[in-house]
Amino acid sequence: MPQIKENLQETIFRFWNGRWAVPWTGQTIAQVMFLWIATFWLVGSWIVPFLAHAAGFSKETLTHRGQALYSLVTDITEGLAGIAILHQCLGRFRPLPPGWFEFKLKGRWHWDVALGCLLFPLVNLLSHINISLVHMSSGPVAGVSSVEQSIVARDPVAMALYAVVVTVCAPIWEEIVFRGFLLPSLTRYMPLPWSILLSAAAFALAHFNVQRVLPLIFLGVVMGGVFARSRNLLASMVLHSLWNGFVFLDLMK
């Protein structure tokens, strides 16, 4: 029994004090996140709509398939812009210390992902609670999304395009930014658990949806824990993809 207690205390100590070697300061962290948010807004709200309008298209008049393709193009553009920002801002710190932006197929990270999947029902419960709280505090919520419209219409091509957006594109670039960059960077200034929580809060707020704040914070903590334990971005990407797929399939019922 004393040995078990000692091992548990050692594990907690290692987790609490787990850090990355961070060669940049808070100024670079703030710069990357500000530029990412600004670029995300510019691309989604101005650049892609302007280019679509210049090409003779209007999002409001597009078919379900057209809107799905529009979402895919927007998501890919936002993702590439985010990666370009990281590449530019962190360029002067290359080569980066070991442990940054690692993708590994080997290891026991599959078990961490499986454990994270077991928490999906809890995330779903938090989602229903959050929506109920928003209903009570601010009245009617937002209308039906283009994804839900395509599902109702049972358009297979549109649904396949949206599936690529939510299970491939979004998990890749969101995990690179929030778990790959922000979470490890914060360990320069605070213990790992606080870094996980703060990056999860930033992840939730970046979705600009008050109806999903609670489940996204919890989901961000779960994905952050999986990433911190495995030090493998592939693990959190797969978990993120599985969650988005879980939500997408739930909408199809």
pLDDT in tens, 9-25: 555 656 666 789 999 99
Query: What's the first-to-final CA gap in the chain, in angstroms?
Result: 49
In the three-class reduction of DSSP (H, G, I as helix; E, B as strand; rest coil), residue 160 is classed as helix
Q: What percent of the chain has pLDDT over 90?
A: 62
pLDDT on residue 52? 86
The mean pLDDT of 187-202, rounded to a whole number, is: 96
Question: Distance (Å, rounded) from C-alpha 162 to C-alpha 165?
Answer: 5
- Taking the model in full, what pTM does it have? 0.87
The mean pLDDT of 181-198, rounded to a whole number, is: 96
pLDDT on residue 37? 92
Q: What percent of the chain has pLDDT over 70?
A: 86
Q: How do residues 212-230 score in pLDDT, each as one tens digit?
A: 899 999 999 999 999 999 9
Angle between the 156-164 and 233-251 helix axes, to the nearest 10 degrees? 150
The mean pLDDT of 24-50, rounded to a whole number, is: 93
User: What are phi and psi for residue 34, nearest 5 degrees?
Assistant: -65, -50
pLDDT on residue 141? 47
Count other C-beta atoms under 10 Å from residue 225's C-beta: 21
The mean pLDDT of 98-116, rounded to a whole number, is: 92
Give yes or no for a contact between 159 and 151, defined as CB atoms under 8 angstroms apart. yes
pLDDT on residue 81? 93
* Average pLDDT across the chain, whole number: 87
pLDDT band (50, 70, 90) for residue 2? low
pLDDT on residue 145? 62
pLDDT above 70 (res 238): yes
Question: Distance (Å, rounded) from C-alpha 62 to C-alpha 170?
Answer: 22
Give yes or no for a contact between 204 and 220, defined as CB atoms under 8 angstroms apart. yes
The mean pLDDT of 195-208, rounded to a whole number, is: 94
pLDDT on residue 148? 64
Show the DSSP H helices in the chain as ranges.
2-16, 26-42, 48-54, 64-89, 109-117, 120-138, 146-153, 156-164, 170-175, 183-186, 192-205, 213-230, 233-251
Residue 205's identity, in one-letter code, is L
pLDDT above 70 (res 131): yes
Of residues 148 and 127, more confidence is placed in: 127
